[in-house]
Amino acid sequence: MGKLFTKQSQAIFWNNNRSAIQRMLDYDYIIKRETPSVAGIVAPTSSNKFDKFFYGGDEIMIPLYKTTAQAKYAQPQADVLLNFASFRTAYDVTIEAINIGSFKTIMITAEGIPERLSRGMNAYAKSKKVVIIGPATVGGISPGAFKIANIGGTTQNIINSKLHRVGSCGLVTRSGGLFNELANIISINADGIAEGVAIGGDRFVGSVFIDNLLRMEQNPDVKYMLLLGEVGGTEEYKLINAIKKGLIKKPVIAWCIGTIAKHYDSGVQFGHAGASANDDAETAEAKNKAMREAGILVPKSFNDLPEVINGAYKELHGEGIIGDIVEPEINVIPENRRSKNFICTISDDRGEEATYAGFPISSVATPQTGKTIGDVVSLLWFKKQYPKWATDFIETVMKTVADHGPAVSGAHNAKVTARAGKSVVESLVTGLLTIGPRFGGAIDGAAKYFKYANDKKLTPKEFLDYMKKEGVPIPGIGHRIKSLKNPDLRVTGLMKYAKEHFPATSLLDYARTIEALTTSKKENLILNVDGTIGILMVDMWRALGYSENEIDEFIESGTLNAFFIVGRSIGFIGHILDEKRLSMPMYRHPMDDILYSLPEN
């Protein structure tokens, strides 16, 4: 209770600020977090899906998302947003995140958000019970649990300032630089901090001093608090009132910087936008005096602060309120970390036996395992063990398309190549290179267009009109020799399997309505084997629970044609071996089968 972050807190980081993210992950590693504190990164202009970062000596992949909504959808457990957008976009990013909901804390680093917008944003966040840290801040830290971006500085500085484990001081400052300085002073004169927040330098920040101090009052790890206020504003008086009302009972040490201002003739604007006294009560002098009178431990000068901290710590320690800290073991970040050039997420050959998506080869390879090529494909292509109805379907598809005789374009090319004396692999590749939008390679296209039309709920006529505008024949429709009268029994077989074993076949049912229209125009414009496979694979993935985005990605990357490529390789190799076995001579096409039509000279 009362804790800003825990060791389980995870953030979505808005903007791929690599060095700040790496610092967070280094911190996570040092303190031995089980999960990285950054669950995802919003990188609107990146086309990458992830970025690699070090986690100790190893690397981990952190997913990238285009929008906060996508990131939150994929990482619902991440309830902290680290908004590193520029001052031009930080407001919109914050409002959007509040509207998405279930962010508990939003930290805003940008300096210079127009004050009118900041005020509205802060009030809106408060109404939605979202804690805003900033704008214009380096953030906050719960030592031993979660650290925002660059707060605390370098790893060495963090360890020196004992920010790697829980201490007993609750620290609140405006400035990040002074935060680090004080963390260091506290580590020397006491036992470090339990929670710390630099609230930010803008005139209108989201959570103000008192919000943080009231929360720390509830945090059992915080035994006393230290507030570093500054000239300007009246926030320190709220602390005095809270103490008077009994809302804050833990000892508080405070100092307001800016006492030098009295030595200038006119009002001085210090570094922060809010650091300027508008009347006497806002001077550092007046605030220090009022706080002292309210029983707050206020040193005579900043130089005396360490002594006051030490005194308070010793007293609380003497009373047994602060116990002794057993220094935890920390991980040490190895030197000479090396980034890896390649990533593999499907198989691993480092152990005694290689694995397919975690399954040792022997657990899928032999007949006793009951596993099929369909299982191996599901593991190596999709990194999952699909259920039997799906792996059986995959296997059925591959067996179904293994060959369609010597006359089809790919087999013909493979045979001609073999007869030219080329090797199995060269002849096979020639056959494979024939696979394309007209022959065997229309599966992804069919899935794409039929899925699109189905998603948009186009009628068959609207779909045909749409494809006419696209200027391409409908992938998956039409066959050179198969027709309504001469049906393709492979298609019938696959459809029968799906009807009997798939939980649902909504895209197939839709595609049949298209086929009814195309075959009414021309009887060979049937749903062909490519089309049937593409459409049924979408139905399969939908039934397996993939999101529409994931299915679209499979299609975009050409996954579906791969089923034909693997299946038909079996047939091509058969034809090539046939040629070799028969020792067939080189093939020359008969000239009388060619229409020669050349320009007359």
Name the site residues for ligand LMR (rule: CB under 6 A): 404, 408, 440, 480-481, 529
Beta carbon nearer to ligand ACO, 442 or 540: 442
498, two tokens: 């799906």
| Residue whose tokens read 């980081």 | 13
Which residues fall within 8 angstroms of residue 346, CB to CB, at 6 or more apart?
A: 356, 357, 379, 380, 381, 383
Alpha-carbon 593 to chain mean position:
58
**Token output for 175:** 């400035």
* Cβ 523 vs Cβ 487: under 8 Å: no
Whichever of 70 and 524 has its CB closer to ligand ACO, that residue is 524
Q: Which one, 82 or 442, has the nearer CB to ligand ACO?
A: 442
Residue 575 a catalytic site member: no
**DSSP conformational letter for 523:** T
Tokens of 128: 């939605």
Instruction: Count CA atoms closer than 13 A to 288's CA, side-chain side.
Output: 18
Instruction: For tokens 């152990």, name the residue.
Output: 351
Q: Which is nearer to ligand LMR, 67 or 524 (CB)?
A: 524
CB of 540 to ligand ACO, least distance (A): 19
N-terminal to C-terminal alpha carbon distance within the chain: 94
- How far apart CA 274 and CA 381 sit, in angstroms, is 57
> Least distance to ligand ACO from the beta carbon of 100, Å?
42
Q: Which positions lie near ligand ACO, rule CB under 6 A?
A: 437-440, 442, 473-480, 522, 524-525, 528-531
Count CB atoms within 10 A of the CB of residue 342.
4
Q: Which does 72 bind (CB under 5 to 8 A by kind): ligand ACO, ligand LMR, none?
A: none
Q: Is 160 exposed, middle or buried (0-12, 13-18, 19+ CB in 10 A)?
A: middle
Which CA distances in Å does 148 have to 103, 181, 199, 399, 596?
15, 17, 12, 54, 75
Structure tokens at 363: 């657990």
DSSP string, 391-450: HHHHHHHHHHTS---TTSHHHHHHHHHHHTT--HHHHHHHHHHT-BTTTB--HHHHHHHH
Q: Which does 474 bind (CB under 5 to 8 A by kind): ligand LMR, ligand ACO, none?
A: ligand ACO
- What one-character DSSP code corresponds to residue 145? T
Please report how close the Cβ of residue 442 comes to ligand ACO at its closest, in angstroms: 4
For the residues of 31-54, what is the DSSP string, one character each?
TT-SS-SEEEEE-TT---SEEEEE
Nearer to ligand ACO, 109 or 532 (CB): 532
Handedness of CA 151, 156, 161, 162 (dihedral sign): positive
Per partner kind, with CB cut-offs from 5 to 8 A, the member of ligand ACO, ligand LMR, none near residue 524 is ligand ACO
From the list ligand ACO, ligand LMR, none, partner contacted by residue 322 (C-beta under 5 to 8 A by kind): none
Of 195 and 530, which has the nearer Cβ to ligand ACO?
530
Residue 465: what are its φ and ψ, rounded to 5°? -65, -40
CA distance 2 to 212: 10
Q: Which is nearer to ligand LMR, 408 or 536 (CB)?
A: 408
State the DSSP string of 326-386. -PPP---PPSS----S---SSEE-SSSS-EETTEETHHHHSGGGT--HHHHHHHHHHSS--
Q: Which is nearer to ligand LMR, 35 or 486 (CB)?
A: 486
Cβ 218 vs Cβ 249: under 8 Å: no
CB closer to ligand LMR out of 153 and 440 = 440
Alpha-carbon distance 162 to 30, whole Å?
A: 12
> Active-site residue among 272, 404, 479, 575?
272
> Catalytic positions, please?
272
